[in-house]
Chain A
Amino acid sequence: MNAVQYSHFSNTAIMSAAIIYCLAMTAHITEWALTRTPVAEPALPREYVSTASTPTPTQIAAEPVPQSYRKDLAGHLGVSLTAVAFLLHVAGVVSRGLAAGRVPWGNMYEFTITGTAVAVGTYLVWLRFQPVRWLGLAMTGFTVVLLMVAVLLLDVPAGPLVPALQSYWLYIHVTAAMIATGSFTVGALVTAMYLIRSRAETAGRTKGLGSRLPDADTIDALAYQIHAFAFPVWTFAALIAGPIWAKYAWGRYWGWDPKEVWAFITWVAYAAYLHARATAGWRGRKAAYLALAGFAALWFNFIGVNFFISGLHSYAGK
């Protein structure tokens, strides 16, 4: 294939991936809908009914419930569809790189499609080690929205890099930034789920979104786990590899360019989150808001800064 064909293939693959993510999302919505009425469907054989005594709100979500059949089916379908969409998504990213003859993160469109691919990949890998399928709805929904934004608003034709971006530090710096962004994104989704669940627990709700999630402490620990992975990677990407590359390209390590400033704000916000988790009176929801603030800064840096602020790093295209 030549560059034009790769580019065309890439666009098709990304569109198809977005459509399949939509289907996966539908499957997860079904999964959630089926969790709504835990005591319904009395026709099921006795063995399938939970042996737990009186179900508390926590147990409703955590323990297997009668209609887990269909619910499980929908959930598995959601995950399988997500995996299929992910493969197409990766194919789209790779062929985009082949079309441009370089790494596929030279502009915002590419950054967004690659970043979401890493996030979904992180989620799928994580799913192998932890029961985090309850994240599926948020994950697929978020991915669909971002892919649509990328396709509709950010798309620019594939082209080579300007000289300042031609460095192997670009590969190191952006690869790390990509991995951190993907995991922070998953982290933010988990944190959002935590907030929903935690509110539901405080209010003692047994219905609604919150009641279908694992208990808040479990989600909180998972959120910490993924943030504790992403934070050192981000530290490396933004505060080590970035400055080293900047030194080669622009003759200084750190220049308070808007992009650097927002990378720094992101880092500080997540550091505050880690501290807050260890500070009495800040554990729990307040800490969670700090993590979301970090996430907002992170994505503002990739989208907002390119649009609203000009600087050395602006690779927004026209």
Chain B
Amino acid sequence: MRTALMLLMLLGLASIPGSLIPQTRVDPNAVINWQTAHPDLTRIYTKLDLFTVYGSPWFSAVYLLLMVSLIGCIVPRVRVYWRAVRARPPRVPRNLQRLPASITTMTSLPARAVAEHASRLLQRARYRVDVVEEADGGFAVAAQRGYLREAGNLLFHVSLLAVLVAFAVGDMFGYKGSVNIVSGQTFTNTREAYDDYAPGSLFSADRLAGFNLKLNDFKVNYLTSGPELGQPTSFRADVTYSTPSGASPTNIALEVNHPLSIDGTDVFLTGNGYAPEITVRDGDGKVVYSGPTVFLPTSSTYASWGVIKAPDASPTQLGFEGQFLPTYATAPGVGPYSAFPNALAPTLSLTAFTGDLGLGSGVPQSVYSLTKTHLTQVRNNAGKPLTLTIALGQTRKLPGGIGSVRFDGLRRYARLQIASSPASPLALTAVVLALLGLIGSLYVRPRRIWIRARATAGQTELELAGLDQRDGPARGAALTKVLNDLTAELTTDVTGASE
């Protein structure tokens, strides 16, 4: 118990840092921002796994030790419990008046009748009861209940283990991925199609369910008045999916909190944003980039960040980065911003770069950032960094005849999380069992009651005593009441006459 207690406290403490420091698996962008802001601490923190606390060796060590201690505690207890569960109630102590709660009274009923009556009453109250005739002709009744407390306790702790095992199994045999699908586009469930793909260590990509999913349309509603102006009230993705076995494609609306399940794989709507359709031409007027481009929202009004790379442009490669603003607005001192999440005045605000995008170097690059080591920012005629502000339908030319950008159209995209977690029914069952066990372990009250009935001087002397095995003296009141009620029944019930 002492070890378990220490480990529990340690587990609580060990969980704290991960809630204060951004975690890679929870919010990778926040981690990058934090690391940029604290370059000195980053090295130390990375060494201490402080950006991946919940997968770190030291955190795992704490909960594995807890598991070991749990197993070490459960195994011996199962045997003890098995013996206890079949044990008879302990024999009636010689001196009942020495117990914390006891009553002595006289009755005219015969001792045997009283003992048998007591036995019946207690059995009805789900006590396990033994009646013995004592050497002096008296009768002793020993009763005990609450055997299930220990069972509940064991069930709870065993189920905790089962939950952890289920999570481990789910992690190993499942996978999780996410993808941004622009409306009008189709996603095919293969490893390559994912933006992020995180398989469990024992999951292989050929077990991915083979389905296609097309995003037909994405609808959003926002509050257009009131203090929460601009807050979304609903997101809906109209999708069509088809499976190799399924007959015809199915249309369905995917909403937040209403996931779709296809052959054991769950599809969740977890985000959305804008994908402006952009065409880039190079100095020769050749189209070197074209199509909807996913911009990642950075604010609640959907000001979004995106990047365009045109490696085939000549005379020089072209790169762009900047914002998409669904409702363009400016204010002095703030610069351009988005005033509302809907596309009321959609505008791109981009800066341009020439030079070498670094795509041939073999180092993998994110599609959401430019590697600027070999790039030069394009400047306007006055020599200042150039910002292209392009409203929907407009074209902007780059100075020096090196190319142009056109904002052709606007689409929305949906961010889908797709996952298979095979052990979740097991985990759910285990959690429910744990709760039942917990309730048993906290609410079942083990209690012993002893009664002795002995003939004296033509009457029967009746002694009752009880013991609540938990919670100390404050339970006394409840126990006293039980004994009083029992005494009243035993001394009146059979004949209807009181003593």
Contacts and interface: CB of A to CB of B under 8 A. Distances in A.
B176 A164 contact: no
Given A232-B435, A240-B432, A159 B226 contact: yes
B333 interface: no
B439 interface: yes
A228 B19 contact: no
A109 B434 CA distance: 33
Interface stretch (A25-33, A73-81, A204-212, A276-284): A276-284
Nearest to A281: B2
A261 B21 CA distance: 12
A276 B3 CA distance: 11
B233 A163 contact: yes
B257 A261 contact: no
Contacts of B424: 247, 253
B417 interface: yes
A275 B443 contact: no
Interface residues of A, number: 60
B5 A276 contact: yes
B228 A271 contact: no
Interface in B439-463: 439, 442-443
B289 interface: no
A180 to B, nearest CB: 13
Interface in A235-279: 235-236, 239-240, 244-245, 247-258, 261-262, 264-265, 268-269, 271-272, 275-276, 278-279
A265 B16 contact: yes
A235 B435 contact: yes
A239 B431 contact: yes
Interface stretch (B104-112, B210-218, B379-387, B469-477): B469-477
B275 interface: no
Contact of B5 (A157, A252, A272): A272
Nearest to A310: B30
Interface of A is mostly: helix
B422 interface: no
Contact of A228 (B16, B232, B432, B443): B443
B102 interface: no
B487 interface: no
B427 interface: yes
B77 interface: no
Contact of B227 (A157, A218, A252, A261): A157
A249 B256 contact: yes
Contact of B15 (A157, A261, A282): A261
Contact of B257 (A159, A166, A255, A265): A166
Nearest to B474: A221
Interface stretch (B6-14, B336-344, B360-368): B6-14
Contacts of B431: 239-240
B25 interface: yes
A163 B438 CA distance: 34
Interface in A154-187: 156-157, 159-160, 162-164, 166-167, 169
Interface in B266-286: 266, 268, 270
B392 interface: no
A248 B474 contact: no
A157 B1 CA distance: 49
B18 interface: yes
A252 B15 contact: no
A179 to B, nearest CB: 15
Interface in B467-499: 471-475
Interface in A116-167: 156-157, 159-160, 162-164, 166-167
Nearest to A271: B8
Interface of A: 156-157, 159-160, 162-164, 166-167, 169, 217-218, 220-222, 224-225, 228, 231-232, 235-236, 239-240, 244-245, 247-258, 261-262, 264-265, 268-269, 271-272, 275-276, 278-282, 290, 293, 297, 305, 309-311
Given A248-B259, A251-B259, A264-B15, 16 more contacts: A157-B226, A162-B231, A166-B234, A166-B256, A217-B474, A232-B442, A235-B438, A251-B419, A256-B25, A261-B16, A268-B9, A268-B15, A272-B8, A290-B9, A309-B20, A311-B26
Interface of B: 1-2, 4-5, 8-9, 11-12, 15-16, 18-20, 23, 25-27, 30, 53-54, 167, 176, 223, 226-228, 231-235, 255-259, 266, 268, 270, 417, 419, 421, 424, 427-428, 431-432, 434-435, 438-439, 442-443, 471-475
7 nearest A-B pairs in the assembled complex, by CB-CB distance: A221-B474, A251-B268, A251-B417, A159-B228, A261-B19, A268-B12, A167-B257
